[in-house]
Amino acid sequence: MRPQDIIKKKREGGTLSQQEIQFLIDGYTSGKIPDYQLSAFTMALFFQGATREETVALTHSMLHSGIVVDLSTIPGRKVDKHSTGGVGDKISIPLAPAVAAAGVCVPMLSGRGLGHTGGTLDKLESIPGFRVDISLDRYVEILQQIRVCMIGQTHDIAPADKKLYALRDVTATVESIPLITGSILSKKLAEGIDGLVFDVKVGSGAFMKTYDDALKLAQNLVDIGRMMGKDTVALLTDMEQPLGYCVGNTLEMLESLDVLRGGGPDDVVQLTVELGAYMLKLGRSVDSIEAGRQKMSQVLADGSALEQFLQLVKLQGGDPDVIMQPERFRRTAHQQAVLASRTGYIQSINSEEVGIASMMLGAGRERVDTVIDHAVGIVLKKKVGDNILKGEPLCFLEYNDDARLQEASRKMEEAYSIGDCLPEKRPLILEVLTHS
């Protein structure tokens, strides 16, 4: 078998066998096949697409390039959630401990923020001492104790994905749905899970800007997951404005703690409850989605989700005192308002612009090696549909570096659109997909 023959076959629209795909992925991961040949393959795949069977073979090869965690010592089904990323998307933080408190094991492998979208690991690391780089043995121990653990991708998990992701980033093949599917599922299935709920974001702050593109990705994720023997469901959710009112690592942690205390913004609570209900159903802890919603609402209201998170923080090295006394979180030295230029109703908030403004303040990364400032970020005072008077604050920028303020402030002015009429209300949950 020669790489160039396989590349040519795909370039001309042929269907690759499982053995051919395995040969390419194994060779690339081991260093026997160079970047330039895999670049040609990913571009051929980008233009020609892939069958469901090819995508399964790709995902299987990437998954088995590393270890798959064995969680058979933990009773019951194990279920996780994956979000395609958005602005203000702190859902994993209240969701994982709440689902665990409701009785289902949640092994969660999370990512860092890059570009305008935030990352769960960065938010967790705003808690002093919290470690996301623990060993897989310790990960299993924590799951055995409290049914939830939240860590980053280790070098043992899907090493082929790490190499391929970096290659896609510099060869303009990031948007390939088969490659996105393989990347997501190879990491998630390595956790040792039985079921997976996808939160596929749609809109200005999402990776998929249009409904049709998001629908294609969601259907692909659900179908490939099922073909690989996992129970899957996907929710298409709105990202035309940020989730909640806070964007930035510490700020989003504080908002997550509000949810875990039984409060928090309506949209964050709604999405936490809805995703949790589907996770509980896949975990066979409840018989219906409505029973799942009731159970999720109960654990958020009665303090058991907060207690579960407190245990998680302790076991992963974090300071539990800041959870009970949030005023102890490190905050910024300065705060500045962005004011409305006219009276009217908020028509739209460009989520991507908000994410970029937050990144400009230091909350996010333009490059993988950027050092972030956990404390900085943006607190929205007005959301879509709210009435505002000229000169009222649209939002507050929380910052430490004066040099970063002006450009971020201008971005936020551009992000808001104000008009005379009350805009039509958009649903948060756009569609639920089970299988084709």
Domain harbouring 390, CATH code: 3.90.1170.30
The reply to whether 353 and 314 lie within a common domain is: no
The more confidently predicted of residues 132 and 116 is 132
The reply to whether 146 and 235 lie within a common domain is: yes
The reply to whether 303 and 352 lie within a common domain is: no
Q: How confident is the model at residue 129 (pLDDT cuts 50, 70, 90)?
A: very high
The reply to whether 310 and 379 lie within a common domain is: no
Domain harbouring 37, CATH code: 1.20.970.10
Burial label for 313, CB within 10 Å (0-12, 13-18, 19+), is buried
| Residue 72, domain member (yes or no) | no
Residue 11 lies in domain: 3-49
| Residue 434, domain member (yes or no) | no
- In this predicted structure, what is the pLDDT of residue 428? 98
Segment 248-260, tens digit of pLDDT: 999 999 999 999 9
| Residue 428, domain member (yes or no) | no
| Residue 74, domain member (yes or no) | no
Question: Does pLDDT of 232 surpass 80?
Answer: yes
Domain harbouring 153, CATH code: 3.40.1030.10
- In this predicted structure, what is the pLDDT of residue 165? 85
The reply to whether 313 and 344 lie within a common domain is: no
The more confidently predicted of residues 153 and 282 is 282
The total number of structural domains that make up the chain: 3
The reply to whether 173 and 321 lie within a common domain is: yes
- In this predicted structure, what is the pLDDT of residue 436? 54
Query: What would the two tokens of residue 56 be?
Result: 């399964």
The reply to whether 273 and 373 lie within a common domain is: no
Q: Point out the residues that are catalytic.
A: 82, 161, 168, 183, 187
Q: How confident is the model at residue 313 (pLDDT cuts 50, 70, 90)?
A: very high
| Residue 352, domain member (yes or no) | yes
Segment 368-422, tens digit of pLDDT: 677 899 999 999 999 999 999 999 999 999 999 999 999 999 999 999 999 999 9
The reply to whether 317 and 372 lie within a common domain is: no
The reply to whether 337 and 281 lie within a common domain is: no
Q: How confident is the model at residue 136 (pLDDT cuts 50, 70, 90)?
A: very high
Q: pTM for the complete prediction?
A: 0.95
